Chain A
């Protein structure tokens, strides 16, 4: 296939519009949800210490202004949804949401990362070309947009699923059915199924294998026109099931279901939108329709897309560069679509030693961390290291000399009996 011919291919702009509406409103709902559950307070304002990402130590909650960031995020989500000042709104959405995400890695979630990536992508897509307030105000809508615009979004979703599938090809998942064995068995309180089939070993194996095949294959099932309706039913069923079984995964199922709508034909998107907008048909009809949306700097945007997706394809494999077992030390674990793969719990305490007087004592973690932070810190090595440095700095400032900090740490992974996690002597 000729690459230039592909890049010049056009399609109906409805697909971008429907994605924009779905994504925008879902984001608005997400922010309202976080706000109303009081998580801004408990996750960002209460803790005295925050776990930072390497290179983003400067991204911190800013007292009560943190609420302002969430407000900006909510308003820009709404503006993105209705397509108002779209380019500015989506940039603001990307920046504010990513800032929120970077404030404390305790709250890391794969789908938050996905939201950041999609909103970044959307900066370069003319999703306000039609069915938007912008087109109404400017009295100008575009019927066609480059086909690669929509394909970029599809590719992003495909990467998520496919890489999640690859990550499930490991002995714990396939042979031990872990961590599903632990998780499903603990759902004994679910009506009918809980105390019966969820207690059976073969069901754990069955769920593990079908989960892997679902992740590996769903992208192809959705891409193929013939299997697409079946694929979408699978998407809905699968994600509703995960929402019921694992309520703590939050917005993830809804984000994936909404995103999957992009796979339908442009005509279907147009039909849905026209029906929805039937009430305000008149003003919409008056908008002057221009045939084709053209980028002003096509080459730059296309190059950027190639770089972006190359990184996306390679980044999840970076763990090859690190020594050791990925699930245990988690180097290169995040930002790689490894979802629901490990059941890990840790117990970690720190010994502070004054190297001058060689007096020592153990720190009680709740002095510095919230319960949630302590739980996350206890089994993730980069958290343990960062926190140990923080403790060291704290006691150096508060009267001790040349403080040394040692970790007493035990972790259990996927049902294995807990083992010492960190060398206690260094």
Chain B
């Protein structure tokens, strides 16, 4: 995040081609890393709506154009969630004009662009720092709050993970663009839309693959080197169920299915949306296992209302 913030400032003060490339690279790196963060909607992150501030997409063109124009620097209004974060940067780098030179030209000629870019960078850095700071103190609570109550960290994390897999991963990255929840496909709703749309490059597929990888590592308790620790999967083994291996196999199948997609999701949806829908189904079948089998066997306490088990 510091890298990204620095390269934003560098590009702002000196908008040239090299600095643009630097910024773009840092944006891509950070956006990929973000896929390992989004599911942890806990403590401070939940409180300040970290996820929504970092990755509400598609970015709102109208909102950002207007914000640049009136030099809006307070982006706390929920309507501005679609005007900041990674999608906000995407638009600022790939959406305000149709090619690199034209974008750089805008930054050179009008300081309002650089200012808004810098606002976004500072905001992302600020919210991230506050979440990181909170984690260093919350970590202890999180690690010890393992009881089975509606408010325990363990239960909230399980619910967050399942929620993320269903909404953040399945629905947002594939389902909505592929038109599963609408009459027609909505390619403009893919992640990193402007990057693909204006031909700068493609990131949507990389991001969904990273997200799948993050979910897999979380579910199996693996670190990035593949070393496994205690996890939902090992707990499910302990509970004498077949759910762990079942989900792990399906996660691999989902990878194959996602790999078969074109890099450019807009083209993929236009050319052969069936493949998108197949990828959706591959993720869907995992959601089913997580939401029914895993939650049932964990018997996560939900402090909602009376129920006598029927």
A positions within 8 Å CB-CB of B: 39, 42-43, 107-111, 179, 182-183, 185-189, 246, 248-252, 333-334, 338-347, 354, 359-364, 371-372, 375, 410-412, 415, 417-418
- As a 0/1 sequence over residues 218 to 229 of chain B, the CB contacts with chain A under 8 angstroms (1 = contact) are 000000000000
The residue on A at minimum CB distance from B182 is A361
Interface: B18 (CB within 8 A): no
Asked if A359 and B184 make an inter-chain contact with CB atoms under 8 angstroms apart, the answer reads yes
Interface: B64 (CB within 8 A): no
- As a 0/1 sequence over residues 127 to 147 of chain B, the CB contacts with chain A under 8 angstroms (1 = contact) are 000000000000000000011
Asked if B299 and A343 make an inter-chain contact with CB atoms under 8 angstroms apart, the answer reads yes
Contact of B310 among A251, A339, A354 (CB under 8 A): A339
CB distance from A29 to the nearest CB of B (A): 14
Q: Which residues of A contact B288 (CB under 8 A)?
A: 347, 410, 418
Asked if B292 and A415 make an inter-chain contact with CB atoms under 8 angstroms apart, the answer reads no
CB distance from A324 to the nearest CB of B (A): 17
Among B84-111, those with CB < 8 Å from A are none
Q: A249-B306, A362-B175 are in contact. List 18 more A-B contacts (CB 8 A).
A: A43-B305, A109-B308, A111-B308, A185-B299, A187-B148, A189-B147, A248-B306, A340-B308, A343-B296, A343-B299, A345-B295, A359-B184, A362-B180, A372-B304, A410-B292, A412-B293, A415-B297, A417-B246
Which one of A248, A354, A359 has the highest number of Cβ atoms from chain B below 10 Å of its Cβ?
A: A248
Q: Is the interface of A mostly helix, strand, loop or mixed?
A: mixed
Asked if B309 and A417 make an inter-chain contact with CB atoms under 8 angstroms apart, the answer reads no
The residue on B at minimum CB distance from A112 is B306
The residue on B at minimum CB distance from A242 is B308
CB distance from B150 to the nearest CB of A (A): 10
Asked if B310 and A342 make an inter-chain contact with CB atoms under 8 angstroms apart, the answer reads yes
Chain B's interface size range is: 35 or more
The residue on B at minimum CB distance from A338 is B310
Q: 14 A-B contacts, Cβ less than 8 Å apart?
A: A107-B306, A109-B306, A110-B308, A182-B299, A183-B299, A246-B309, A251-B306, A343-B296, A343-B299, A343-B309, A361-B183, A364-B181, A372-B305, A418-B289
Asked if A182 and B297 make an inter-chain contact with CB atoms under 8 angstroms apart, the answer reads yes
Interface: B149 (CB within 8 A): yes
Interface: B251 (CB within 8 A): no
Q: Which residues of B contact A107 (CB under 8 A)?
A: 305-306
Contact of A341 among B183, B242, B309 (CB under 8 A): B309
| Cα A111 to Cα B307 with chains together (Å) | 10
- As a 0/1 sequence over residues 184 to 225 of chain B, the CB contacts with chain A under 8 angstroms (1 = contact) are 100000000000000000000000000000000000000000
| Cα A415 to Cα B242 with chains together (Å) | 10
Interface: B83 (CB within 8 A): no
Q: Which residues of A contact B304 (CB under 8 A)?
A: 371-372
Asked if A360 and B183 make an inter-chain contact with CB atoms under 8 angstroms apart, the answer reads yes
Interface: B3 (CB within 8 A): no
User: With A343-B299, A345-B292, A415-B297 as given contacts, are A189 and B310 in contact (CB-CB < 8 Å)?
Assistant: no
Interface: B243 (CB within 8 A): yes
CB distance from B234 to the nearest CB of A (A): 15
Interface: B260 (CB within 8 A): no
The residue on A at minimum CB distance from B149 is A189
- As a 0/1 sequence over residues 278 to 306 of chain B, the CB contacts with chain A under 8 angstroms (1 = contact) are 00000000011101110111111110111
Interface: B270 (CB within 8 A): no
The residue on B at minimum CB distance from A379 is B292
Q: Which residues of A contact B292 (CB under 8 A)?
A: 345-347, 410-412, 418
The residue on B at minimum CB distance from A357 is B183
Q: Which residues of B contact A250 (CB under 8 A)?
A: 306, 308
The residue on A at minimum CB distance from B285 is A410
User: With A362-B181, A412-B293 as given contacts, are A347 and B149 in contact (CB-CB < 8 Å)?
Assistant: no
Q: Which residues of A contact B295 (CB under 8 A)?
A: 345
CB distance from B112 to the nearest CB of A (A): 38
Q: Which residues of A contact B180 (CB under 8 A)?
A: 361-362
Interface: B37 (CB within 8 A): no
CB distance from A389 to the nearest CB of B (A): 20
- Nearest 9 pairs of A and B residues by beta carbon: A250-B306, A189-B147, A186-B299, A340-B309, A345-B296, A359-B183, A418-B292, A412-B292, A345-B292
Q: Which residues of B contact A43 (CB under 8 A)?
A: 305
Q: Which residues of A contact B246 (CB under 8 A)?
A: 417
